[in-house]
Amino acid sequence: MSMAATRPLGTGSRFDTLLIANRGEIACRIIRSARRLGIRCVAVYSEADANARHVRLADEAICIGPAAARESYLDSARLLDAARKTGAQAIHPGYGFLSENADFADACAAAGLIFVGPPAAAIRAMGSKSAAKTLMAAAGVPLTPGYHGDNQDAGFLNAQADAIGYPVLIKASAGGGGKGMRVVEASADFAAALASCRREAAAAFGDERVLIERYLLRPRHIEFQIFADSHGHCVHLFERDCSVQRRHQKVLEEAPAPGMTPERRRAMGEAAVAAARAVGYVGAGTIEFIAESDFASSGRFYFMEMNTRLQVEHPVTEMITGQDLVEWQLRVAAGEALPLAQEQLRIHGHAIEARIYAEDASRGFLPSTGRLLRLATPAESVNVRIDSGVEEGDEITPHYDPMIAKLIVWDGGASSEGARAGALARLRRALADWRVAGVTTNIDFLGRLVACPAFSQADLDTGLIERQRELIFTEAAAAPREALLIAAVGELLAENEAARRAARASGDPWSPWNARDGWRLNLGSARTLTFRDGERLVDVNVRYDASGTRETPAGTRSTHGTGSDAGAPASAQWQLSCQGEVSLVRAQRLAAEPGADAPAERFAVEIDGQRHVASVVAINEPGLARRIVFANGGTWPLLRHDPLHLVEAGGRGSSDGGLTAPMPGKIIALLATVGQPLERGAPLLILEAMKMEHTITAPQAGVVRQFRYAVGEQVSDGAALVDFVASEQVPALGAH
């Protein structure tokens, strides 16, 4: 797959300097295409993003305010001022932030700037889900049964839901990205779900209005990429299947949609183009449809919403069409006609995108923050593409979306089924090639997801993750014996390297006292390395094998175990005993991966004749020595256990029974009563973080002794929120 040949914008273009009103991956993505068109790029950044990758890539960058998005990336006045100061004639909003803000589009026009997006009128028409559905009904686009009106009285909405029939979906009228959405199974649950939706919608969009729709069981989410220019042309660039979701947020996207027939593609594509024409659309947009569970046979589909911007998942469309959609955006904004007509567009092969996030799937996908101490990605090729806004050493902060990268794979294949099978195989391989340390990621979760039978067999719907929960959300397995042996090898090789450095710096590099080869005058040498894997301690007993070949400082070979060397060893050999088995282990250091703050010890290790290529990242903190083992496509976090340093493993809970904040946020509701007996899993409070609500629940039966924060107060990551006492300890408390 290759992008269409790129020619610069014509000399009559209306702009040559572009300000990118965004950050992260999409800002870097826009810079890449704009540069190919000969356009000068201006980045904007908050104080938290001063050293961000998009800032480093741009031709010029300007600070627009503090870390809080509302004071920087969402401040239209600051963005317009930055454009004026840097001489930009156009602004690309990317996605998120102000990309679908009609007032910002109007402000750009008033300032004489080109907004790389649709007209403000089109954004307004589609910005309200209820108003958009009225327009779509008039245009003849099929709609899901529901209530999309202006009456927002809670009792009235409850009655509408009762009339539609449960389950229903409450959805923020101004929403997107899965925020402000709740599925309600029964009338008795409606009021609480509505209140939660309104809070989340108000926080995310400044608008608490909602609409009610029938919730389709096992629906598919299929969207069409549309493009229109100012000359009256409008096309679609085929569909994407975005059914694999959690919390109404997309996890995997693929194109074309499995099972799509030419007839259904034509019908949905025509509906998408009709929807765009109905609002006088110009630029890139996406028409999202929801399809019945029997879509493969019936073909029934309904309009869901229109996203008046570029989508996160646009690369899968680029991979199957060979087109650069950001280039199309820039050309259309410059006044050019669409590069291709509908009949010139073709589908080639199959593409799948996986979103790599710093988040913990085992803890409800809570974002993980920290420094990327190791970020090694699969090799890019015609089949593998990586779009990222961060590099090794960068920070994942609590201020913004925790995306690390998008992994996109493509395969040609002799048939549509063969192309998807090939793309899926490439995706599995690529996921196994990631190396990330410093934050928790969803990579292992994605690996299990793409391997599950439902996804492999294209049995897709928006509830797939829940249907396959037992396969996807497995409890953390104990590290295999090979991983423990590799961790030990990493320690031994690191010690050898430290000894060689010390020997070279000493006055006598030949001294046997500088050696780390286990030589003893009369006895063989043995020692024990201990690792903590979850709650268990595992010993690896090391016996040095003196028959290993070494490199001497002079470059000659030595086959005995005495002396020191200043060069890298050709190989090292030990007898390692672990879990009752003894193995002969040989290891050889390989060329290091690119430099990082936590260097990865990358080596080839042979265990009883079986060869593995592995790396170990060592992260040493006060009282804590973490070791991340990467081998055979798996990742295993371990702790080097040293009794002298009281290394302690475990969760975030405090020793006095407190429950801690999983991330920075604001307390928005206290749900339990102090002293009231509670069952395990009972909701205690709601924490709002990253514009999403997270419920903190009781870890076991017990009572709340006190809440440490009040509603409205901000809390930091790891802050103790609740003093909680287990039931068996309650009588003892009364004795005090």
Please give the structure tokens belonging to residue 502.
């010390």
What residue type is 539 in one-letter code? D
Query: In this structure, are residues 213 and 164 in contact, taking their beta carbons and an 8 Å threshold?
Result: yes
**Beta-bridge partners for 333:** none
Give me the sign of the Cα torsion angle 164, 170, 173, 175: negative
386: phi then psi, degrees, rounded to nearest 5: -130, 120
The one-letter code for the residue type at 709 is Y
Contact 642, 625 (CB under 8 A): yes
Q: Dihedrals φ, ψ of 19, to 5°?
A: -95, 130
**Tokens at residue 689, please?**
């973080």
Sequence letter at residue 283: G
Task: Label each residue of 50-97 as H, E or C.
Answer: CCCHHHHHCCEEEECCCCCHHHCCCCHHHHHHHHHHHCCCEEECCCCC
CA distance 254 to 315: 10
Please, which residues have CB within 8 angstroms of residue 33's CB and are 6 or more apart in sequence? 324, 326, 327, 330
| Selection from 169, 174, 170, 168 nearest residue 201 by Cα | 174
Q: Which amino acid is at 427?
A: L
Three-state secondary structure of 467-526: HCHHHHCCCCCCCCHHHHHHHHHHHHHHHHHHHHHHHHHCCCCCCHHHCCCCCCCCCCCE
Which residues is 542 bridged to in the sheet? Answer: 527, 576
CB 599 within 8 A of CB 494: no
Residue type, 443: I
Tally of CB atoms within 10 A around 573: 19
Query: Is 309 an annotated catalytic residue?
Result: yes
Strand partners, 605: 587, 612
Q: How far is CA 610 from CA 337, 492, 546, 604, in A?
A: 59, 19, 21, 10
The Cα 410–Cα 183 span in angstroms is: 34
Quickly list H helices, 206-292.
262-278
In angstroms, the Cα distances linking 632 to 122, 584, 614, 617 are 50, 19, 7, 15
The C-alpha atoms of residue 105 and residue 97 are separated, in whole angstroms, by 12
- Per annotation, catalytic residue among 209, 309, 426, 626: 309
Which residues have a catalytic role annotated?
A: 309
